[in-house]
Structure 1
Amino acid sequence: TLGDAMKDADAFIGCSAKGLVSKDMVKSMAKDPIIFAMANPDPEITPEEVAEVRSDAIMATGRSDYPNQVNNVLGFPFIFRGALDVRARKINEQMKKAAAMALAALAKEEVPDDVKRAYGNEDFTFGRNYLIPKPFDKRVLTRVSPAVAKAAMDSGVARIQIEDMNAYAKSLQERLGQTGSIMRNIRSRLPGSDKPRIVFPEGTNARILKAVAILKDEGLIHPILLGNKKIIHKKMDALGVSNLKDIEIMHHEDSDNYESYVKEYFHLRQRKGVSLSFAKDTMKRGNYYGSMMVRMGHADGMITGATQNYPECIKPIMKVIGTNVAGRPKVAGIMILVFKSRVVFFADCTVQQNPEANDLADIAISAAQLYRRVMQAEPRVAFLSYSNFGSNRDPQVSKMAEAVKIAKSKDATLIADGEMQADVATNTDIMKTLFDFCSLDKAADVLIFPDLNSANISYKLLSQLGGATPIGPILLPMKHAINIVQRTSTVDEIVNMSHLTALIAQEIKAHKLAKH
């Protein structure tokens, strides 16, 4: 039996099912036992249960919310990268052992600050609670892949030889863009259990279905598709993703919640010209139904926009959900632009056409809050203009200077300045040479634009010509995590937005629980 096998055992490595290992089994193990309980989403035995009976156990699970997460993202991508780069004929034991040894060596190195920030500024040092590098540690690529490549060459399975391993490691570092690093950070903060339920109203769209296939395989999000089940299943067959047929699919015609959703919408809008019959018709539309699912707690978030224009999406969202800040009925669309060596947030890129100073202040506060949430650092915020610190005096310039004052009065912790030109905001040397009185101590992380034209044009130009990868837009401040992707969004961009929406939904839920 398993109990017999565990007696006096030095190690247990499991990837089976929840609760198979008992505390008595752990008690019977040898001194300093190694317990890798990797069943997902719930391990064979939890660290808390082990701690009740053993203080000397070395414990790991597959969960991100416990120390020592054993995650295949630390192995497979980097093993394959090394194998492919030497055109290996196969992946042999020597290559797998080299990957394991590289990970073990990396765990003993000092952990960089960006990894610590990704995990709440926890100070990691090698020991019982830090045996394995974190999934967000981008150094894994430059340690594991070269080790695997070298092992392939040494064991005779490599078709090509890499002469300079240091140069190879450097090339790997250059390939590792900021986008992948940010998204790994976001994914690592999503729970293995209690998966955020994200609803997709455009359930028959090919890109949505391909994105949902990726999300299902990852196992971090519970996707829900809206639409006719037969039509969606037929589309799955056509796309070759028939394995998605166990995904939850909802349609208003079959829903037990349809009538309650109609009543809730009627209650919300009855004094704004909505009749009961109109509410019934409205609730048959995907964006309204999906938004109401989120409002009523039957989903944690929503992604829409793959097949519709922006106004068609945002109107239902605002009517059903609305903002989460009293006195701030307006939302803003914030774009995250990921460049090779930096990340900058742009606002407002999608919603408010010509915001006033007070609106701009609110936009800045929302963008700064999102930056803290995603990047886990304190942003520097620049209010942009064609003018620098009063060099011009027209109303468009004055409103940016006024917005800075209002934003700081509303949030005393905000590090912000303006109005300033874009080159000053993004280049520390120019900023300090010409305007050493500027309160920003480095280049801005968040750029607040004077109007929708300038913001939208800027982010699209930079994404097409400047090598930036856009993530967004993220709607803030919202009561719930609902976001609109662009009609031109790729499958990867929809996946990225789903992860980010799930993280926001998770944090909204945690905030509500903390208040209660």
Structure 2
Amino acid sequence: MSLLEKFIAKAKKNPKIIVFPEGEDERILKAAVQAAREGIAFPLLLGEEDKIASRARALNLKLDGVKAKDPQIECENEEYTNFYHTLRKDRFFSPKMARALLRKPLNLGALMVKCGEARGMVAGAANLTSSVLKSSMLMIGLNKGTKVPSSFFIMSTREPRVGERGVLIFADAAVNPDPSSEQLADIALTTADSVERLLSWQPRVALLSFSTKKSTAHPLVDKVIEAVKLTKERASHLLIDGDLQVDAALIPEIAQRKVRGSKVAGRANVLIFPNLDAANIAYKLVQYLGGAKAYGPILQGFSHPVNDLSRGAKVEDILALTAITVILAQESGIQ
């Protein structure tokens, strides 16, 4: 059974309502119909209902089990405007201002998740990551104790000797361009928690650098070393090590030569990259040159599940992220 098949099987055990703010997009329509047909999720599409129905007919899709709502109509719903007004706790913020915000599908979708009408959101097929993050921060907010939102990719490689039978986690490959030591620590802790909930692994976290155990003196290396220290202070139970070069993190033979007494070196399954340049380049190299399957970016740190698609996402990618969002909703314990 492939990793995608495992995600789908787990999602089908307890499907959830997932909102798709880009409901008029052809790829979203196809994925939503498939998700409903296979019992993966209960899709809720946002967009003009007539346009959604018309495009579905043109694509020969039956919208059985798929609901649709129009943000231009729903923004007038007093339940939504009153909920957001209460959420803001700002007496100067009027219902008229709330309606203006909720006309935007990303904002309405995120509010639906916050108020419990939907259990997760999948967006980004036609919107920038920054827009998805902005709406999610505005309407959903971060988990208590989480300082920054971040993301990770699940990389299913062709090399079974690395990670968990060839599967690795790459973070943060989509959100934070140049994280500080404190932010790297936050990303490491959030990613470890996500991995435990989504994949039921014991995370072995490597904070990567161009140096292994201070083999090079440089401020960029110091940033990673400080991040390891801060992470250990916040979670002494976590298996974490750094600074590590990627070969020392993944290959036992190299780790034996470079590192002593590490429970992570040579067997890491979670790779925390020092910045967005490194992480984004790495996942695309592994995906396109190494033939790996890349699932993500999976957003993390928010109080409710929300995920961001690549604008080049295919139907299979959307279906995978939908199943992952359902699983995260299952594991959140929110009914």
Matched, 1:484 2:308: yes
Which residue in the other structure is 2:140 paired with? Answer: 321
> Which has the larger Rg?
1
Normalized against structure 2, the TM-score is what?
Answer: 0.92
Q: What is the deviation of 1:250?
A: 1.0
Counterpart of 2:71 in structure 1 is 252
Summarize deviations over 1:109-148 as a string: whole Å, max 9, x none. Answer: xxxxxxxxxxxxxxxxxxxxxxxxxxxxx4xxxxxxxxxx
Corresponding residue SS for 1:506: helix
Where do 5+ consecutive residues of structure 1 fail to align? Answer: 1-137, 139-179
Q: Residues of 2 paired with 1:272 and 1:361: CA distance? A: 37
SS in structure 1 of the partner of residue 22 of structure 2: coil
- 2-side partners of 1:258 and 1:401: how far apart? 51
Partner-residue secondary structure (3-state), 1:302: strand
Counterpart for residue 499 of structure 1 = 323
Equivalent of 1:220, from 22, 37, 40? 40
In the other structure, the counterpart of 2:246 is 422
Partner of residue 185, structure 1? 6
Q: What is the SS of the residue equivalent to 2:63?
A: helix
For residue 148 of structure 2, give the secondary structure of its aligned residue in structure 1. Answer: coil
Q: Aligned partner of 1:497: which letter? A: L
Report sequence identity in percent.
33
**Which amino acid is the alignment partner of residue 121 of structure 2?**
M
Partner Cα distance (1:273, 1:468) in 2: 51
CA distance in structure 2 between the aligned counterparts of 1:437 and 1:493, rounded to whole angstroms = 40
2:117 maps to 1:298 = yes
Paired position in structure 2 for 1:234: 54
Which residue of the partner structure matches residue 163 of structure 2? none
Distance 1:465 1:275, change over 3 A: farther
Aligned residue identity for 1:483? N
Matches within 5 A, 1:275-354: 276-326=95-145, 328-340=146-158, 341=160, 342-354=166-178
Partner residue, 1:112: none
Rounded to whole Å, the distance in 1 between the matches of 2:91 and 2:214 is 44
Contact (CA 8 Å) 2:37, 2:64: kept in 1 or not?
Answer: no
Please give the root-mean-square deviation of Cα atoms over the aligned residues, in Å.
2.0
Q: 2-side partners of 1:425 and 1:447: how far apart?
A: 8
1:329 to partner: Cα distance = 3.2
Distance verdict in 2 for CA 1:257–1:365, change over 3 Å: farther
Deviation of residue 374 (structure 1)?
2.7
Letter in 1 for 2:100: D
| 1:466 equivalent in alignment to 2:290 | yes
| Contact 1:186/1:374 (<8 A) preserved | no
> Secondary structure at the residue paired with 2:11?
coil
Deviations 1:348-368 (A, max 9, x none): 111112111121111111111
Are residues 1:206 and 2:23 paired?
no
C-alpha separation in 2, matches of 1:250 and 1:402: 48
- Quote the Cα distance in structure 2 between the aligned partners of 1:329 and 1:385: 22
* Correspondence list, 1:53-452, <5 A: 138=1, 180=2, 182-192=3-13, 195-241=15-61, 243-244=62-63, 247-255=66-74, 258-269=77-88, 276-326=95-145, 328-340=146-158, 341=160, 342-440=166-264, 442-452=266-276
Q: Distance in 2 between matches of 1:192 and 1:338?
A: 23
> Following TM superposition, by how much is the alpha carbon of 1:416 offset from its aligned partner in structure 2, in angstroms?
0.9
| Letter of the structure 1 residue corresponding to residue 258 of structure 2 | L
SS at the partner of 2:147? coil
Instruction: Note closer, same or farther for the CA distance 1:283–1:455 as it changes in structure 2 (3 Å cut).
Output: same
1:282 is displaced (CA, Å) by: 1.1
Contact preservation (8 Å) 2:18, 2:41: yes
Q: Offset of 1:338 from its aligned partner?
A: 0.9
Q: Matches of 2:13 and 2:197 in 1, distance apart?
A: 20
TM-score in terms of structure 1 length: 0.61
Say if 1:384 and 1:448, in contact at 8 Å, map to a contact too.
yes
User: Which residue identity is paired with 1:298?
Assistant: E
Deviation at 1:217, TM superposition (A): 1.6
Q: Which runs of 4+ in 1 moved over 6 A?
A: none
Distance 1:217 1:245, change over 3 A: closer
**Which whole-Å deviations, capped at 9, do the CAs of 1:198-234 have from their partners, x for residues lacking one?**
0111111010011112112211311111111110011
